[in-house]
Structure 1
Amino acid sequence: MRADASAALDAADGFEQPWMRALFGKVARHVFVPDRVWVWSADAYRPLLRAEAPGEWGGLVYDPAGSVVTQVDDGHPGPTGGVLPTSSISAPNAVFTMLAAAQLEPGQRVLEVGTGTGYNAALLCERVGEQHVTTVEIDPAVAAGAQRALNAEGYHPLVVTADGESGHPPRAPYDRIISTASVHRVPGAWIAQARQAGLEVTPWRSTLQPNGLATLRMTEEGRAEGHFGYPMAFMDVRGQRRSDHSPLGALYSPETWQDSAERTTDAELDWLTDDFHARFAAGLMLPGMYAEEERSPGAAPAWWLSTANSWARVAEGRVRRWGPRDLLADLERAHGHWTREGSPELYEYGLTVTADGAQHPWLGKPARVLWQA
């Protein structure tokens, strides 16, 4: 299966450098995957055991474009299955895309945030040398499993059980910081612990959800900045997981509905589902806004928009809104900006992060900072 996966990655130009192909052949991915993995079935994640379905298990592990869920519900699934995936081994194509973005060279000091199974850490050990690799995992059970797998395969990086958002100051500064979990705000600790001209590579997402891989280079002024690329979705770092849940449930009530105002609108919001790049751009301009589609049999689709202090429902030419912000107006302004700029793709956008953790998205070059609501 590994040979087939390697051939498929080769055919898709998944190995940007020859050393990547060599590492995929050398580091046995399957030894880092637990015998019990989790697959979605109908309404929950169900366990799949290697002993009971070795072919299916192996097919999942060596799917070139498939991640494998290795933990659900922070290790405490219910009797009928799991609800939330909380740890995984990333898809091979995503793994090597991130390694390519990091521009790794032997001898570089690397901080990995999100050890997971340990597979990516093993690849890092092969490329830069195990003595240069620090990998941080917040979940003690996951960290222990990764440590065992790494040591069994002869790899001995420093495995730290801690919150990766804080990095690991004792071994800073780092030439490369690679996060295998998504953030919506790049932690200031990563900026502080990166070497000048070093790179930070992390999946990034807004509250509007589209994900892009951010590759940020440290500047002489102590900022990290760079473009987005490669749409890819990862689990959130646990400290930012709450950002995945909209505030609508806490804001909406019969009372706020009664107090809301209604007006007509000719706004068309199909682009929220039909155009990834438009939604990504809107997310950069509207931090903290959530958009959820409501579908009911026999009814036209509706959109719920929400922020920390406002909500709006858009359906059938009418918008009902509550709170100090006109969220539909903000959304239309962001989409109008994207359209006037020529409908740019996410690759044309970038991000600057300052030492205090402030984020400034831009279009084309850092000087063209985006409007934000």
Structure 2
Amino acid sequence: MSDEDLTGRRARLDAEMEQHGAWPADSPWLREAFAALPRDGFAPDRLWRWDGWAYLPLDRAVDPDGWAGELYSGVYAAAITQLADDRPSSSLSAPFAVADMLDSLRLEPGHQVWDIGTGQGWTAALASWRAGPGRVVSTEVDERLAAFARTRLAAAGLDTEVTVADGTADGPPGGLVDRVHATYAVEAVPWSWVTAVRPGGRIVYPWGRLGHVALTVADDGQSATGWVQGLAQFMGDRHAPAQPNTSIAAYTAVRGDAEPETRRKVDRDPAPLDDDWDLRFALRVAVPDAVLLTGRDEDGVNAWIHDGHQSWATLTSRSAGSPPLLLQGGPRRIGDEVLAAWAQWEDLGRPDRYDYGITVTPAAQWAWQGGPDGPRWAIGERALRVG
């Protein structure tokens, strides 16, 4: 793969970002930073491609075109850079997600930044390009990744410190910072992230399996509150409980060969569950441990729901004129929980994902809709709750 070929792929990515409206208008510096620090400068020589059954290696030396094609496969595509137990454990995030999160950070020259989850070092590099020399400290739990990132950051001529530590458990590597930028998903924000930020500073992080959030630390430092910024899926904290498997095989494993314990007709067409992402986000807020999968057949959309443990439900479309069926089993009636959350979302006026936010205090965390004083749902608790 020649430098000329890579230059062409970079240019196409730039154009696709513009075509999709992915260059943030409020952060024009990001387009310049992407050009100055292209993602291929932070990619290892082996990437991994999913072929529908397994992850297969793409080695730059063996298949340079395939390697570059995977790295620049689209605005919304991440590039898998590491596997652990045959599952992805590190990646170069999708370009649109990187730009969207750094835009949400509202980063200015001179800001002190704690970048959590260095990976290959690309987001730390972009933040350093904006904040300035010596202004970014990045934390990585994997010693090999940290060493790799150091070499790539140095090759780019950046003065960026990379420390080996667990950013979730160990807390900040120095004094107070203006910004915290996390690159892996957490369900609940570690309180150490809040105490690391000066009053008025911002924390941008992926929240659970869907969406990322920007919090602002209160003047007294005793809370942080902010709005959902967009949808994106990130790998989870390595030391947190594993995120639920979202394959149909996981649903099958939960259900096993059990017959339904309840069976009833419902008056809801499952179709919106397949493509209405505002609805899906609302369900994620209200029933956070519900894993939802959908598929189509000649009768319409079917939905399979499980909690990763023992409870499951199937919402099945039937031929024209016949109402869908809800089948459920296990200790919970997780299908009923999802339908109740769906009805609640409609009662609230079908708010979109950007109408939700999160508040974090030392004692509790909760999601809310419409504003911090609106309906709320406790984070870390399964039950649906409206304040």
* Structure 2 CA distance for partners of 1:167 and 1:348, relative to 1, 3 Å: farther
Q: Any conservation in 2 of the 1:109–1:174 contact (CA below 8 Å)?
A: yes
Aligned to 1:215: 214
* Paired position in structure 2 for 1:80: none
- Contact 1:167 / 1:190 at 8 angstroms: preserved in 2? no
SS of aligned partner of 1:94: helix
Contact 2:314–2:328 (Cα < 8 Å) also in 1: yes
Q: Contact conserved, 2:117 with 2:183, CA < 8 A, in 1?
A: yes
Equivalent in the alignment of 1:277: 278
Higher deviation after alignment, 329-338 or 49-58: 49-58
**Cα pair 1:9 1:15 within 8 Å, conserved:** no
State the Cα distance separating 1:305 from its structure 2 match.
3.2
Distance 1:117 1:318, change over 3 A: same
C-alpha contact 2:245 2:308 (8 A) present in aligned 1? no
Q: CA deviation at 1:348?
A: 1.0
Classify the secondary structure of the residue corresponding to 1:229. strand
Structure 1 residue matching 2:240: 3-state secondary structure: helix
Alpha carbons of structure 1 residues 303 and 56: separation in structure 2 relative to 1, 3 Å:
closer
* Distance (whole Å) between structure 1 residues aligned to residue 301 and residue 38 of structure 2: 50
Q: CA deviation at 1:155?
A: 2.3
Please give the residue correspondences for 1:236-275 in structure 2 after superposition, counting only pairs within 5 Å. Answer: 236-240=236-240, 242-245=242-245, 252=255, 257=258, 260-275=261-276
Equivalent residue number for residue 369 of structure 1: 375
Which whole-Å CA distance do the structure 2 matches of 1:15 and 1:253 have between them? Answer: 46
For residues 256-297 of structure 1, the C-alpha deviation after alignment (integer angstroms, 9 at most, x for no partner) is x47934444444333222211101101111132233458899
Rounded Cα–Cα distance in structure 2 between residues aligned with 1:241 and 1:110: 27
Q: 2:189 is matched with which residue?
A: 186
Would the alpha carbon gap of residues 355 and 156 (structure 1) be closer, same or farther in structure 2, given more than 3 Å must change?
same
Q: Does the aligned pair in 1 maintain the 2:80–2:90 contact within 8 Å?
A: yes
Partner secondary structure for residue 14 of structure 1: coil
Residue identity matched to 2:139: V
DSSP 3-state at the match of 1:202 = strand
Change (3 A) 1:118 1:275: same
2:335 and 2:199 mapped to 1: Cα distance? 41
Which residue of structure 2 aligns with residue 329 of structure 1?
336
1:61 aligned onto 2:41: no
State how far apart, in whole Å, the 1-side matches of 2:133 and 2:259 are. Answer: 61
Relative to structure 2, which stretch is displaced further, 163-172 or 214-223?
A: 163-172
Deviation at 1:314, TM superposition (A): 4.0
Deviates more, 1:243-252 or 1:186-195: 243-252
Do the aligned residues in 2 keep the contact of 1:192 with 1:355 (CA within 8 Å)? Answer: no
Query: Match for 2:147: what amino acid?
Result: A
TM-score by length of 2: 0.82
Please, which moves more after superposition, 175-184 or 49-58? 49-58
Over aligned residue pairs, what C-alpha RMSD do you find?
2.9
The letter for the 1-side match of 2:80 is V
Question: For residue 40 of structure 2, what is the aligned residue in structure 1?
Answer: 30
Identity value in percent: 33
Shift, 1:218, TM fit:
0.9
Q: Aligned partners of 1:348, 1:319: CA distance in 2, in Å?
A: 30
Contact 2:302 2:314 in 1 (8 A): no
Query: Does 1:71 find its partner at 2:74?
Result: no
User: What SS does structure 1 have at the residue aligned with 2:269?
Assistant: coil
Indicate yes or no: 2:112 matched with 1:102: no
Give the Cα separation in 2 of the matches to 1:7 and 1:196. 38
Q: What TM-score do the two structures reach when normalised by structure 1?
A: 0.85
Are residue 348 (structure 1) and residue 355 (structure 2) matched?
A: yes
Seen in structure 2, the aligned counterparts of structure 1 residues 266 and 159 have a Cα distance that, compared at 3 Å, is same
Distance 2:123 2:203 in 1: 16
**Does the 8 A contact of 2:270 with 2:303 survive in 1?**
no
Whether 2:278 is the aligned partner of 1:304: answer: no
Q: Is the 8 A contact 2:114 2:172 kept in 1?
A: no
**Could you say which residue in structure 2 is the equivalent of 1:139?**
142
Letter in 1 for 2:53: D
Q: Which amino acid aligns with 2:17?
A: L
> Partners in 2 of 1:21 and 1:300 — Cα distance?
40
Helix, strand or coil for the counterpart of 2:62?
coil
Compare 299-308 and 237-246 and name the one that shifted more. Answer: 299-308
- Residue identity in the other structure for 1:138: V
Aligned residue type for 1:20: L
Cα distance between partner residues in 2 of 1:42 and 1:3: 29
Equivalent residues of 1:113, 1:167 under 8 A apart: no
Contact 1:117 1:146 in 2 (8 A): yes
Going from structure 1 to structure 2, the CA distance change for 1:93 and 1:264 (only over 3 Å counts) comes to closer
Out of 17, 31, 37, the residue aligned to residue 9 of structure 1 is 17
CA distance in structure 1 between the aligned counterparts of 2:63 and 2:259, rounded to whole angstroms: 54
How far has the Cα of 1:36 moved from its partner? 1.2
Higher helix share: 1
| Distance apart, 1:241 and its partner CA | 5.4
Partner of 2:365: 359
For 1:49 and 1:333, locate their aligned partners in 2 and report how far apart those are by CA, in whole Å: 48
1:135-165 per-residue CA deviation (whole Å, 9 max, x = no partner) reads 1112222111111211232223221222221
Measure the CA separation in 2 of the matches of 1:230 and 1:58: 27
